[in-house]
């Protein structure tokens, strides 16, 4: 069981766990945590890791996902989420927050923040959601510079640097595969294959690239929603559900607010709510009480 106050597993050990998961041949499932509390729930339900989404981080601040957030904001929220769980957390670093030297600094900041890895994408700035039209990619050699800078700044060799290619929707699948190969040669540990259409495209990617691959099962986008079994059978190594928990929560919040506005009470909503006792269980309320009473007893002994 994890420690109180913060994670009981060191950043180094989480990174080793992430690497081991990627090498295990088992599909690593990383739902997005929109808060530290959600990260605790993800661990409790039994997933292998936690994802910290840029789209969610922006939306949570009331902003669209168009590259407005700063490294400081992303690293700070990432740190809160990463330290709330014993699971490794992979964070969305967008385009690296600037030119290659800034991408390098991003890696240092995210390592310091306790993340187990991050992804950098080959979009131009300002970036867009990978499932929307109107995005664009930088030339391959520009992305390679971004990646090389990132890799050279890494101090913990186990920190996972994932390269995301957005090229499928712009240049087609063959170009996306060529880019993935080039990014792996530049030192990427994992390739995020953004906005592939269907199972056949995931299969093509898997057959063409021999580094670990990550699938993005985001809703209302360009990709079919494939099951974990389908992705496992194709040989993908990791899957993220980046915005899913936020969409579930916001759907419920909106329905609830409308009911309170119309019915004048929330009493019809109680069955759908997380109970106070379940919240306290997740937060380990009783363990904090024990900790506190131990302290109290200790003081009693001293006086």
Ligand X SMILES: C[C@](O)(C(=O)O)[C@H](CC(=O)O)C(=O)O
Of 91 and 177, the one with the shorter C-beta distance to ligand X is: 91
| Stretch of residues binding ligand X (CB under 6 A), selected from 1-9, 51-59, 181-189, 287-295 | 51-59
Angle at 132 between CA 92 and CA 50, to 5 degrees: 25
Pair of tokens at residue 228: 């974990």
- Based on the residue annotation, tell me whether 125 is a catalytic residue of this protein: no
Q: Could you tell me which residues come within 8 angstroms of residue 283 by beta carbon, excluding any fewer than 6 positions away?
A: 37, 40
Catalytic residue among 11, 19, 51, 247: 51
Of 87 and 120, the one with the shorter C-beta distance to ligand X is: 120
Count the helix, strand and coil residues of the chain and give each as a percent rounded to the nearest 5: 50, 10, 35
Judge residue 195's burial from the number of C-beta atoms within 10 Å of its C-beta, 0-12 exposed, 13-18 middle, 19 or more buried.
Answer: buried
CA 170, 224, 213, 102 torsion: positive or negative?
A: positive
Catalytic residue among 11, 15, 48, 65: 65
- Residue 98: contacted member of ligand X, Mg ion, none (CB under 5 to 8 Å, by partner type): none
Helix (H, G, I), strand (E, B), or coil: what is residue 119? strand
Residue 218 is a binding residue for ligand X (CB under 6 A): yes
- Based on the residue annotation, tell me whether 118 is a catalytic residue of this protein: no
User: What residue ranges bind Mg ion (CB under 5 A)?
Assistant: 54-55, 92
CB-based closest residue to Mg ion: 54
Q: Could you tell me which residues come within 8 angstroms of residue 73 by beta carbon, excluding any fewer than 6 positions away?
A: 57, 61
Give the containing element (helix H, strand E) for 65: none
Pair of tokens at residue 119: 């992804």
- Residue 216: contacted member of Mg ion, ligand X, none (CB under 5 to 8 Å, by partner type): ligand X
CA distance readout (Å), 285 to 54, 97, 131, 259, 294: 30, 38, 40, 30, 14
| Stretch of residues binding ligand X (CB under 6 A), selected from 7-15, 49-57, 149-157, 206-214 | 49-57
Residue 212 is a binding residue for ligand X (CB under 6 A): no
- Based on the residue annotation, tell me whether 131 is a catalytic residue of this protein: no
- Based on the residue annotation, tell me whether 65 is a catalytic residue of this protein: yes
Pair of tokens at residue 152: 């050279």
Residue 90 is a binding residue for ligand X (CB under 6 A): no
- Based on the residue annotation, tell me whether 162 is a catalytic residue of this protein: no
Residue 69 is a binding residue for ligand X (CB under 6 A): no
Helix (H, G, I), strand (E, B), or coil: what is residue 248? helix
Least distance between ligand X and beta carbon 249 (Å) = 15
Pair of tokens at residue 182: 């080039």
CA separation for the pair 196, 231 (Å, rounded): 13
What would the x/- binding string for ligand X be over residues 243 to 282, using CB under 6 A?
A: x---------------------------------------
Catalytic residue among 119, 131, 154, 168: 119
* C-alpha 50, offset from chain centre: 6
- Residue 217: contacted member of ligand X, Mg ion, none (CB under 5 to 8 Å, by partner type): none
Which residues of the shown chain bind ligand X in the complex (CB under 6 A)?
Answer: 53-56, 65, 92, 129-131, 216, 218, 221, 242-243
Active site residues: 51, 65, 92, 94, 119, 121, 129, 164, 194, 216
């Amino acid at each position: 069981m994890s420690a109180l106050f913060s994670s009981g597993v060191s950043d180094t050990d989480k990174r080793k766990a992430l690497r081991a998961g990627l090498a295990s041949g088992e599909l690593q499932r990383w739902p997005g945590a929109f808060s530290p509390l959600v990260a605790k729930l993800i661990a409790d339900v039994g997933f292998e890791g936690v994802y910290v989404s840029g789209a969610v981080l922006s939306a949570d601040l009331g902003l669209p996902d168009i590259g407005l957030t700063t490294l400081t904001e992303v690293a700070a929220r990432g740190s809160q989420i990463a330290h709330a769980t014993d699971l490794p957390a992979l964070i969305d670093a967008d385009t690296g927050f600037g030119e290659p030297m800034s991408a390098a600094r991003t890696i240092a900041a995210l390592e310091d923040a306790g993340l187990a890895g991050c992804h950098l994408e080959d979009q131009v700035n300002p970036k867009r959601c990978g499932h929307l039209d109107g995005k664009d990619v930088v030339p391959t050699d520009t992305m390679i510079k971004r990646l090389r800078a990132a890799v050279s700044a890494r101090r913990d060799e186990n920190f996972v640097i994932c390269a995301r290619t957005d090229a499928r929707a712009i240049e087609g699948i063959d170009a996306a595969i060529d880019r993935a190969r080039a990014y792996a040669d530049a030192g990427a540990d994992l390739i995020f294959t953004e906005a592939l259409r269907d199972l056949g495209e995931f299969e093509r990617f898997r057959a063409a690239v021999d580094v670990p691959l990550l699938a993005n099962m985001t809703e209302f986008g360009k990709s079919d929603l494939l099951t974990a079994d389908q992705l496992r059978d194709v040989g993908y190594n990791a899957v993220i559900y980046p915005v899913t928990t936020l969409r579930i929560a916001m759907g419920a919040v909106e329905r609830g607010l409308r009911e309170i506005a119309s019915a004048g009470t929330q009493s019809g909503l109680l069955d759908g709510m997380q109970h106070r006792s379940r919240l306290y269980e997740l937060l380990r309320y009783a363990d904090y009480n024990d900790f506190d009473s131990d302290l109290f007893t200790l003081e009693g002994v001293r006086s």
